[in-house]
Chains A and B, each alone.
Chain A
Amino acid sequence: MNVLVCVKRVPQTGGRIVLTTDGQEIDTKFLGFTVSPHEECAVEEAVRIVEAGGGSSTVLTLGPGAAEDQLRDAMALGIDRAILLETDGSEWDPVSTAAAIAEAIRADEAARGAYDVVLFGNESADAGGFQVGIRVAVALGRPVVTGLKGLEIGEGRLTARREAPSGGWETYDLALPAVVGVKEGINLPRYPSVPGRLRAKKKEIERVPVGAASGGPAAAAGAALGPSMVVLRLPEEQRSEAEVIGRGADAAPAVVDLLEKIGVLGS
């Protein structure tokens, strides 16, 4: 079983988000970087698929040179190999991102054989476009389903499980090779081991320049692009400081008065 997992480097935002003064990006002076929780689970799922059925796992990202850190994090958890589609760090829209990833998959498969499963996060943490995985699947002509909270690999097929809109669960059955978008909750990702971290440090990362160097995002897609970010802003805060209605266990009568006042006490 050969699996590929795609992750995106994003700032690790804390209690609140701070923007640069020009509103072009999140101010990351005091922040670390990570990937979306959905993608952490996609990485874990890729490692488990190979642990269970043999084969090889690869992680891919499109981003700045520093996104190497996120690839090493994935390799520390057990991913075998990493590909960095290196940009100049500027923001890529979903159409260009998907076109570049699909092209990279085609090239890699031509050299090393096909991936049985390509895993994506359900949505990226920062842009939340809800589309890159589906665009890649359509470009490659492979079946795809997103929102997965369960995945089982069978003989030439996979069975996927996700929450149904009206409650409960629904299942899907896909022929391999296939593309999936997974959600947090599908598994509990492991923590990296110290030997895992050391091994990951020494591994080579395959770097492929994309963007300006190879003709720019527009050339990658050759079609209509977007949406194109103009500026970022923070939503207006509506609430103010909480009214303290008590301290410790002594606050109980005041809390129950409040429950009664807002009509949720029932009987």
Chain B
Amino acid sequence: MSGPILVFVEHASGEADRVSLETLAFARGLASSLGGVAVEALLIGPGAELGPSLGAHGVATAHVVEDAAIAGVYAPGAWGAALASLATARGAAAVLAPGSDRGAEVLAHAAARLGLPSAANVLSVIPGDPWRLTRQRWAGSLLEDATLDGPMRLLSVAPHAVPVDERPGSPAAAIAQFSPSVSAADLAVRVTGHEAPAAGSVSLSDAKVVVGGGRGVGSAAAFSELEELADLLGGAVGVSRVVTSNGWRPHTQQVGQTGQRIAPDLYIACGISGAIQHIVGCKAAKRILAINTDPESPIMSVADFAVIGDLHAVLPAISAEIRRRRGHGQ
């Protein structure tokens, strides 16, 4: 029987994040195709009391690092070193991390320290000799079938590769304290300050409606038409790369391969052509409505609904119609 699958679990305010729970579900599937090996978790930092509840996500043992020097604030090298040393101590068959910013960073640190290859944003694995896997390239607009070799397999799991698999009534995970020895150099890089997000703003990742603007909006000033509609719907404004490159809007609003991934109930894409690097950021939207002058634009084969026309005419008309209906008390 081979060693356990070790999963780095990100958590905040006493809750594991969603992509980490998906990664545990992925590990559960992988464990059974490896003949039923155990799934173990590494939890670093305050809030580690959530450990036992990970039993419902298939975790047999949660290793908890509480030493404030390591766990007090995020320290990528130290956390990667902790993951590497636990993986070695446990003789892990595989080490998994969520495909988030921190997950990818911690995994790369662990892999570099172990001198082993690692694969990012994996969608599925068939164990064997070697392992065969499918992973995302170009932020998911292209897939790669690859092999992964080595005495221990390291990979990050792409967000939404598998759904969360919570089974209430499962036995609680056992808790094991873990005190890694981490060098001063590893601890030297750590978070030294925080700035809170701007109060009252609807974040792109949480918005139910995102009104997206591209080159077709034409100017920074014309974004007021998008903002008006977003405000009426309690949503947020998102933009294409052309818009941030022109300096019309801040990069924090960019949707796509090098921007944010969004998953609203509705994405209204205005004056956006639908380049694949943009679409990978919004394809998780439940529905897409395109507003575009060009009925042949590639966005038409991605959107569910379309209005053909000049967004400068269409958007104000939609906002006026919403006001008119609300004015009539619905």
Residues B236-260 near A (CB distance < 8 A): 241, 244-245, 247, 250-252, 254, 257-259
- A224-B149, A226-B119, A266-B233 are contacts. A258–B305 as well, Cβ < 8 Å? yes
- Once bound together, how far apart are the Cα atoms of A89 and B149, in whole Å? 23
- Once bound together, how far apart are the Cα atoms of A227 and B153, in whole Å? 10
- When A and B form their complex, which 8 residue pairs have the shortest distance between CB atoms, in order from nearest? A185-B251, A167-B197, A226-B117, A138-B112, A249-B317, A252-B317, A248-B309, A131-B108
Which residues of A sit under 8 angstroms from B195, Cβ to Cβ?
Answer: 168-171
- A125-B257, A172-B190, A243-B304 are contacts. A15–B117 as well, Cβ < 8 Å? no
Which residues of A sit under 8 angstroms from B314, Cβ to Cβ?
Answer: 248-249, 251-252, 255
Which residues of A sit under 8 angstroms from B111, Cβ to Cβ?
Answer: 131, 135
- 8 A–B contacts from the bound complex (CB under 8 Å): A95-B117, A130-B108, A224-B149, A227-B119, A239-B301, A242-B302, A243-B305, A251-B309
Let me know if A264 and B266 touch, CB within 8 A.
yes
B157 to chain A, nearest CB (A): 13
Q: Mark A232-258, 1 if CB is under 8 A from B, else 0.
A: 111101011111111111111111101
- Once bound together, how far apart are the Cα atoms of A249 and B310, in whole Å? 8
Nearest CB to that of A145 among chain B residues?
A: B189
**Is B76 engaged at the interface, CB distance under 8 Å to the other chain?**
yes
Q: Mark B61-89, 1 if CB is under 8 A from A, else 0.
A: 00000000000001011000000000000
Interface centre among B117, B194, B308, B317 (most CB of A within 10 A): B117
Residues B80-105 near A (CB distance < 8 A): 100-102, 104-105
What size tier do the contact residues of chain A reach?
35 or more
**Is A110 engaged at the interface, CB distance under 8 Å to the other chain?**
no
Let me know if A267 and B101 touch, CB within 8 A.
no
Nearest CB to that of B102 among chain A residues?
A: A165
B188 to chain A, nearest CB (A): 6
- Once bound together, how far apart are the Cα atoms of A92 and B119, in whole Å? 14
Let me know if A169 and B308 touch, CB within 8 A.
no
Q: Mark A211-242, 1 if CB is under 8 A from B, else 0.
A: 00000000000011111111111110101111
Let me know if B138 and A128 touch, CB within 8 A.
yes
Q: Mark B199-212, 1 if CB is under 8 A from A, else 0.
A: 00001000011000
- Once bound together, how far apart are the Cα atoms of A188 and B132, in whole Å? 40
Let me know if A234 and B142 touch, CB within 8 A.
yes
Let me know if A93 and B143 touch, CB within 8 A.
no
Which residues of A sit under 8 angstroms from B140, Cβ to Cβ?
Answer: 235
Which residues of A sit under 8 angstroms from B224, Cβ to Cβ?
Answer: none
From B145, B193, B194, give the contact of A231 (CB < 8 A).
Answer: B145
Which residues of A sit under 8 angstroms from B100, Cβ to Cβ?
Answer: 165
- A36-B258, A130-B120, A165-B102 are contacts. A16–B298 as well, Cβ < 8 Å? yes
A239 to chain B, nearest CB (A): 6
**Is A14 engaged at the interface, CB distance under 8 Å to the other chain?**
yes
**Is A129 engaged at the interface, CB distance under 8 Å to the other chain?**
yes
Which residues of B sit under 8 angstroms from A174, Cβ to Cβ?
Answer: 188-189
